[in-house]
Amino acid sequence: MDIPPHENTPHWKQRAYRIIFESDTPAGQTFDAVLLVAIVLSVLTVMLESVSQIAAQYGSLLRAVEWAFTGLFLLEYIIRLVVVRRPLAYALSLLGIIDLLAVLPTLASLVMLGSHYLVVIRTLRLLRVFRVFKLGRFVGEGEFILNALKASRFKILVFLTAVLTLVIVIGTFMYVVEGGQNGFTSIPKSIYWAIVTLTTVGYGDISPGTILGQTMASILMILGYAIIAVPTGIVSAQMARPTSDAPTFKQATCHICQAGDHRDDAEFCWNCGEKL
């Protein structure tokens, strides 16, 4: 994703690239650490600003700090564009877009002035929190988890589809059973309740009042309690799968009998005895 600068680029550019884009030099590591702290602090600033008591007292200070961070991140974004060999490729990469999204909301609040729209702009500003995603450069273990999830993505999709079908049907039934009472005011709301119940979250903002409704809710809960075993089983089985000590198999098939599944170290076909 990050493209190394060309061999012919000036030395300072290569150095800046190394510091900003890579972490294999002391300077690069310091830069990353400072960036990480700045991101956390800027996120904290936005968070504190949303607390009305704090905003009333330190509102202008927090906004100033936020603008300072926005300025720094913007500067960083521009430098990244300058030192990278193919700026457009960077700008269109996932990380590049996130870098841009991290400064846009605050900038956007500048252009539009109508107090009426400001609330909406503040909404966009909060997107900055996405910047946190940049922290997500985990390796090894993270990849292990992702690989396990990737390997079982179809199974999980099938499971989620089944769950969705279930909550739609049961939500509709509950709407009928409760007759629009006890918070089951519409089918979408009843489906929302079914999800809240099946996932064992159980807010209690909506809960069945009729005997039939409570019976159905009980069935749904026990179902939810039991079928959580399915995604867990899928991922557990995937992770427990031996990765290397079980004999692995060649992709190639025997050129005589087309038999496949030969051991990786096999020299002869198990089916016809031909040299592989």
Subset of 162-191 contacting a second copy (CB under 8 A): 162-163, 165, 168-169, 172-173, 175-176, 179, 185-189, 191
Least distance to a second copy from the beta carbon of 212, Å?
11
* 231 part of the interface to a second copy, by CB under 8 A: yes
**Is residue 147 within the footprint of a second copy (CB under 8 A)?**
no
**132-139 contacts: CB < 8 A, separation 24 or more?**
132/39, 132/43, 133/98, 134/35, 134/39, 134/95, 134/98, 134/99, 134/102, 135/36, 135/39
Q: 22 CB contacts (<8 Å, ≥6 apart)?
A: 2, 28
According to the binding rule CB under 8 A, does residue 75 interact with a second copy?
Answer: no
Q: Is 234 in the site for a second copy (CB under 8 A)?
A: yes
Count of beta carbons in the 10 Å neighbourhood of residue 173:
17
Stretch that binds a second copy, among 27-35, 69-77, 78-86, 131-139 (CB under 8 A): 131-139
Say how far apart CA 48 and CA 61 lie, in whole Å: 11
**Amino acid in the structure at residue 125:** R
Query: Is the Cβ of residue 88 or residue 118 nearer to a second copy in the bound state?
Result: 118
**Which C-beta is closer to a second copy: that of 79 or that of 151?**
151
Site residue total, a second copy (CB under 8 A): 107
Which is closer to a second copy, CB of 69 or CB of 175? 175
Strand partners, 249: 263
In the complex with a second copy, the residue whose CB is nearer, 4 or 142, is 142
Q: Nearest Cα to 123, choosing from 136, 112, 134, 135? A: 112
Query: Candidates 30-38, 80-88, 89-97, 262-270 — which segment interacts with a second copy by CB under 8 A?
Result: 262-270
Indicate the residue among 117 and 268 with the shorter CB distance to a second copy.
268
Quickly tell me which residue has 């974004």 as its tokens: 77
Residues in the chain, total: 276
136 binds a second copy (CB under 8 A): yes
String marking each residue 20-39 x if it binds a second copy according to CB under 8 A: --------------------
> For the chain, how many helices (H) and strands (E)?
12, 0
Does 140 bind a second copy (CB under 8 A)? Our answer is yes
